[in-house]
Amino acid sequence: MPFLSYAHVLELQQQLEGTRARVICAGSDEYAESIKRWSDTCEKEAGAVVKVTSTSEVSEVIRFAREHRIAFVVEAGGHSTTGSSASHGGIVISLSEMRKVLTDPASKTVCVQGGATWQDVNSSTAPYGLVVVGATSSHTGVGGSTLGGGYGWLTGRYGLIIDNLLSVRMVLADGSIVEASETTSPDLFWAVRGAGQAFGVVTELVFRAYDLKHHVFGGVLYFTSDKLPEIVQFANEFHRRMDDRSGLLVGFTAPPFMEETAVVAIPFYNGSRDEAERFFEPLMLAQPVKGQVDMMSYTKLNAIANVEPSPEGRKSLNGTNIPLPLDTDFMRDVYNQFDQVMKDYRRVGNSVLVFELLPYTHIIEVPLDATACANRGRYYNVGSVFCWQDPDMDHKMQTEQQAIITRIDQFGSRGQDEHHVVAYANYAGHNTDVKDIFGENLERLQQLKKIYDPNNVFRKWHDLLHLKTGSHSG
């Protein structure tokens, strides 16, 4: 599509006159900052960035874009590395100023605007001794991480983020504003819980909250590679115990304070110090070379896994899933492959590959067809964020990352049943077939898509109507 004309920018500004929305275009003081993304690979020159402050303003912008046949995308947290929240020449609807969070301690519900981060949520709920099941890192956006399914430290106890979502307010492709819940537009609410970004702009989300007045156990531990067999052994033991109060991330990264690529572990336990230390004793006996664990607030714990640097640098997110037990030789092969990338390229040490061991007991209690999310099974997600600086390395880094993910996927697909999906929607790149993300739920999603978005306007996340996503650009 052509670059947005200045005449259209002026017309849009006029249409939004009287609202608090701000239209930012090239030449504006805020323009350079407004098109920045968590990953520099996703920075595109937008025709205009509209910083909206209400659902009605989102509706106005969508109606304008549709009427004038102008491409548009939505930016919430801005952590997508596929470019789905950036547009070359089109309109970016930025929810970055819609970050209000309202916690109601009486009903134990939390209403969150679509541009909020989990840090915003934690800051609102903590004074009441409440928590919401959120992502494992607090700097990620609430909307994006929720609508794809959502995994977090409290998933073991309470299930996926979407399993604790009570309702949403959203703007559809025709600009209409709707509420969706189990009782209002239940078919749309079904689709939203797992594929929400393909159906509209979610501007408000209401979550169920839980009591958590005490501190939790957690931290980051770094090990030398010779300790990998012990870490793998504990990961398998963790899997066998399946304690719903626990969580464990195990993976690889190359911190500047170590001479070799490290094996990293992030333990979590929602219980007393004594219980936590007993549970993770084998991990501590492996003698980490750096890092510490302690009792801390959930808010502090939730920030531990934030991937830096932010926002500088180029990044790529990719992932798959894998059943346990893990095989030590396999994990050594993956470590060596990751380590080779860390050795071969400059300024890539912030990259991380993580096996996310979050107990799935409550995830699989929910039937596969109860929500659009098909990533419910006796397996765990594997996520990777590759970080680099040189634009000339874009293709090479993404190729190296995909090679590692493919290696893990091949190991993980052994003995999986026919209902097994290949990847979690929030980690899957645009080269992943949507059938491999949504499985048997895809057909119903496609039927609903034709009702709520017949022109396939919202196709930048995962294109539900095409076997291969990413065939369109904005």
CATH number at residue 44: 3.30.43.10
In this structure, is the dihedral angle defined by the CA atoms of residues 43, 44, 48 and 50, taken in order, positive or negative? negative
Domain assignment present for residue 397? The answer is yes
Query: What secondary structure does DSSP assign to 60-88, as a single string?
Result: HHHHHHHHTT--EEEESS---SSSTT--S
Domain end call among 50, 70, 94: 94
Picking from 247, 253, 358, 228, the residue whose alpha carbon sits closest to that of residue 307 is 253
Do residues 298 and 398 both lie within one domain? yes
Task: Looking at the structure, tell me whether residues 68 and 146 fall in a common domain.
Answer: no
Residues 121, 88 share a domain: no
Instruction: Provide the 8-state DSSP code for 40.
Output: G
Sequential pLDDT tens for the chain (474 residues):
567 888 888 898 999 999 999 988 887 888 766 766 665 556 666 678 999 999 999 999 999 999 999 888 898 765 655 555 556 668 889 999 999 999 999 999 999 999 999 999 999 999 999 999 999 999 999 999 999 999 999 999 999 999 999 999 999 999 999 999 999 999 999 999 999 999 999 999 999 999 999 999 999 999 999 999 999 999 999 999 989 999 999 999 999 999 999 999 999 999 999 999 999 999 999 999 999 999 999 999 999 988 655 547 888 889 999 999 999 999 999 999 999 999 999 889 889 999 999 999 999 999 999 999 999 999 999 999 999 989 999 999 999 999 999 999 888 776 565 556 778 888 887 678 899 899 999 999 999 999 999 999 998 888 998 754 333 333
Residues 245 and 352 in one domain: yes
- The greatest distance separating any two alpha carbons of the chain, rounded to the nearest whole angstrom, comes to 67
* Residue 275: domain span: 216-412
What DSSP designation does 5 have?
P
Which residue type is seen at 42?
A: C
pLDDT confidence of residue 75: 84
Shared domain check, 341 and 282: yes
With respect to residue 111, please indicate whether it lies within any of the assigned structural domains: yes
| Residue 472, domain member (yes or no) | no
* DSSP, residue by residue, 293-341: EEEE-HHHHHTTTPPSS-SSSEEEEEEEEE-SS--HHHHHHHHHHHHHH
Give me the pLDDT at residue 193, please.
Answer: 98
Q: Is residue 57 part of a domain?
A: yes
Do 105 and 18 belong together in one domain?
Answer: no
Q: Which residues pair with 204 in a beta bridge?
A: 113, 169
Question: Cβ atoms within 10 A of the Cβ of 29, count?
Answer: 8
Q: Which residue has the tokens 């491409």?
A: 71
Residue 331 maps to a domain? yes
The answer to whether residue 61 sits within a structural domain is yes
Q: How far apart are CA 14 and CA 5, in angstroms?
A: 14
Number of structural domains in the chain: 3
| 322 contacts 347 by C-beta, under 8 angstroms | no
Q: Length of the chain, please?
A: 474
Contact 427, 318 (CB under 8 A): yes
| Gap between the Cα atoms of 71 and 104, Å rounded | 38
Q: Which residues pair with 357 in a beta bridge?
A: 248
Count Cβ atoms within 10 A of the Cβ of residue 368 and give its class: 0-12 exposed, 13-18 middle, 19 or more buried.
Answer: middle
State whether 337 and 437 are in the same domain.
no
Examine residue 42 and state whether it is found in any structural domain, yes or no: yes
Helix (H, G, I), strand (E, B) or coil at 44: coil
ω into residue 309 within 30 of 0, thus cis? yes
